[in-house]
Chain A
Amino acid sequence: MIKVAVVGNPNVGKTALINYLTNSSLKIGNWPGVTVEKKEAYLNYKGENIYFIDLPGIYNFTPYSLEEKITRDYLLKENVDIILNVLDSKNIKKGLLLTSQILEFEIPTLVVFNMWDEVPPNFDINLKNFETLLNVKAVKASAKKGFGKEEILNLILKLKRENYLKPKFIIFRKEIENILKTLPFKRFINVKLLEGDKDILKEYGPRLKEKDLEKLNSQRKLLEKKYKKEISDIIFTERYKWVNTIVFQSTKGNLDNISDLTDKIDDIILNPKLSPFFLIGFIYLFFKVIFLVTDPFIEYIGHIQDLFSSLLSNINFGKFEILKSFIENVFIQGIGILFSFVPLIFVIYLLFGILEDSGIMARIALLSDRFMHKIGLHGNAIIPIVLGYGCNVPAVLSTRVMSTFKEKLILALSLPFTLCTARLPIIAFFGTTFFEKYKSLLTAFIYILSLFLTLFSLFFLKKIFKVESSQEVLIELPSYRFPKISYVFKYALDKVLDYLKGVTSIIFISLLVLYFILNFPPHADVENSLGAYISKLLLPLFSILDINSWQVILSLFPGFIAKESVVASLKEILSLSHTSLNQILSKKGALAFVIFSSFYVSCVATLSAIKKELGYKYAIFSVMFSISLAFLTAFIFSNVIFQVLNFLNMF
C-alpha cells in the first residue's frame, strides 16, 4: 500500500481533490483524543492500493496549533510514502512558504497546483523548471473542473517505482548550515532544534550528547547576538527569499490582486452600515430553514414511537407484565429520544457544510466578532449560542467551530443555560397556575435570566479554567464558491452516525437508572417508590427554596430525560397522590421551582453530547455546575422578587 499524506494551507481544496481522486470515497472521523476532523480515503489504481490521509490545513510548522501538531507528528512518525502538497494556484507564494518546510521532512513530494482553472490566462508555471529546482514532481489540476486526476495518480505510482525522489530543501547561509551539519536527525528536526523549538527540543534534545546540546545552545545564542534577531526570524527571511526565487525562476505573468466576484460581494456584505441587517437576516433564515424542514420529521418520529407503544400494549406478557413497562420506558422511549434529534442534527450539519464550503461561515464569524468581542468571545460562538435557544443538543455539537479546546469547553458548559424550547411548557404551566396576570412577564423574565446565566457562566468558567482573554480575530476569508452537495450530504450523514455512536450508551443508561428510581420496589405506589424516598430525603434542601413537597421534587427526575416531561409527570404524580399544586406549593416556591427547573440540567441528550465532545469528566462537571448555579439563582431571585412584589403588594 502507498501511504499518501495530503498537506497544504487551509482552503486550497484538499478535501475536494481527494474526493475527486478517489471517486468520493472520503471517510470523516476524528483524530484520537481531539475533535479535529480526520479524513481518509482508499483507492485501488492499476493494481496498487493507495491510502490518502487529509492532514489538517496549516500555514506553518512554527507556533504549533493543534492542527500543526497533528500534521507535524503524522509526517514525522507515520511512515508516509509520499506527500501530496496541494497549493492554490492563485496563492502560490503563500503555498510555497509551507512547501519550503514540507521539503525538510525528506519525503518524496508531489506538488499539485490546484484550482488551475482560476488563474488569469497570462500566468503560467514552467513545471519542468519547478520540478528540477525542488527535485519533486509537479502537476496542474482542478478538482472542480475535473482535470489532472490521471496525471496525479500516475505520478504517485511513478514516485513509488522510481524508488522515491528525495526533495531538495533550502540551503541556508553558511553559518547556519555549519551548525546543522553537526546534527544527526532529519532535516526538519535539525532545523527546529537550531530554532530552539520547545516541543522538538524536549523530544530529541535528550538523544544528543550533553556537550553537543550545550554547544548547540551557545551557537544559537551567538548567532542571535550577531544578527540581533531570533534564529527563526533569520530562517524565515531565507524561506521568503527562496520562495521569491522559485516564483521568479519558474513562473511568468503575475497574479497580483485578481479582482473577482468575491470582492464585489464582500464590498456589499462587509459594509459596516449594511452588515448588521445581513447578519440578523441570515441568522433568522438559518433557523427558519432548520425548523421548517425538521418539524414534520420530528412529529413523524413521535408517531412511530406511539405506534410501537400501542403494538406493545397489545402483546400479552402474562406473568411478566412488569417487563412491558420496562420495554416501553427504557427501550422505546430511548430509541424515540435518540432518533428525535436525528433530523435536527442532519439538517444542521447539512447547513454547516454548505456554509463552510461556500465561504459564508467565515463572514458570519467576522461580522459577529464586532460585538461578540466586547463580551470576550470569538465571533464563531454566535452560532452555538443562538442554536441553544432552539435546542441544546446541536448547539453543543456545533461548538467544534471554536478554535481552541478551552474556548470550546467553556462554551459547551455554558450552553445548558440557554433556554431551549422544551422548557417553555414548564414556564407556561406554572405561569397559568400561579401567576395568571404576569404570565408573559414571567416568560420574558426567564429568557432574560437565561441570557444572563449563559454570559455569567462563560465569564465564570473563563476564570476557573484560566482561559486567556480571547484573542482578536485572525481569519482567512475564502473565496465564495458553490458547495458540492453530494459531499455535504455525505458529511452530514457521517456526522449523524458519529452522534448515534457517541450518545446511545449514556441515554440508555440514564433511562435505566430513572426507570429503577421510579419503579422500585415493584408494585409499590408512587408514594413508596425509591424516587419518592429520595425526594423526601431532599426535602430539607429544597425547603430553602420554599419547596416543601416531595411530589414537586420527584417531577424533576423525568425532567432529566426530557424537559417536556416535567409537566406531564408532575400532573400524573399529583393525581396519583390525590392533591393539587396550589395545596402543596407556595407562590414563592413556585417561582423558585420555575427558575430551578429551567436551568438545573439541560437533558440527557445534551449531556451525552457534552460527553461526546468533552468526555465523561466534563459531563459530570456540567451536571454539578448547572445544578449549583440553578439552585443559587432560584434562591436569590425568588427571594428578591418575592420581597419586591410583596412590597408593591402585587401578589
Chain B
Amino acid sequence: MKIKYLSQIPSGKEVIIKDVLGCQGFKHRLYGLGIFPGEKVLVFKNDRGPIILKVGNTKLALGRGQAQKILVEEL
C-alpha cells in the first residue's frame, strides 16, 4: 500500500495513521487527540480549508499544513 499525506485523502475514506512529522509539541498534541501511528481515522471532509476527521467518535478540524505532516495509508 502506498503511503500518502493525510491532505491528499478524499472525503469519506478511512486511513491508518503511519507517522506524524514535526516538532515534539505538535506530535504530542495530536497523540492526545487520538492521532497516533497504528490508529484508524476517517476523513469526514476534505475540500476547502481545514480538513475534518473522525477519530473514534470525535470530530476534529485541522489545518491543511498540519495534515501535510501526517503520513497515512489508505484502507
Contacts and interface: CB of A to CB of B under 8 A. Distances in A.
Contact of B27 (A233, A266, A270, A477): A233
Contact of B59 (A97, A232, A472, A476): A476
B61 A477 contact: yes
Given A236-B31, A270-B52, A369-B49, A258 B57 contact: yes
B2 interface: no
Contacts of B24: 63, 230, 232
A92 B24 CA distance: 25
B38 to A, nearest CB: 7
Given A60-B28, A232-B28, A257-B42, A474 B56 contact: no
B21 interface: no
A291 interface: no
A385 to B, nearest CB: 19
Interface string B13-44: 00000000000110111111110101110101
Nearest to B52: A270
B4 interface: no
Interface residues of B, number: 35
Contacts of A477: 52, 59-61
B31 A60 contact: yes
Interface in A447-490: 471-479
A257 B57 CA distance: 6
A92 B58 CA distance: 11
A240 B59 contact: no
B32 A59 contact: yes
A369 B50 contact: yes
A272 B60 contact: no
Contacts of B3: none
B32 to A, nearest CB: 3
A64 B56 CA distance: 24
A474 B52 contact: no
A93 B52 contact: no
A91 B52 CA distance: 17
A94 interface: yes
B66 to A, nearest CB: 5
Given A233-B27, A255-B57, A473-B63, 11 more contacts: A62-B25, A94-B55, A98-B32, A240-B38, A362-B61, A373-B63, A472-B65, A472-B66, A473-B50, A474-B33, A476-B58
The 5 A-B pairs of least Cβ separation, nearest first, read A472-B63, A59-B32, A60-B32, A370-B49, A477-B59
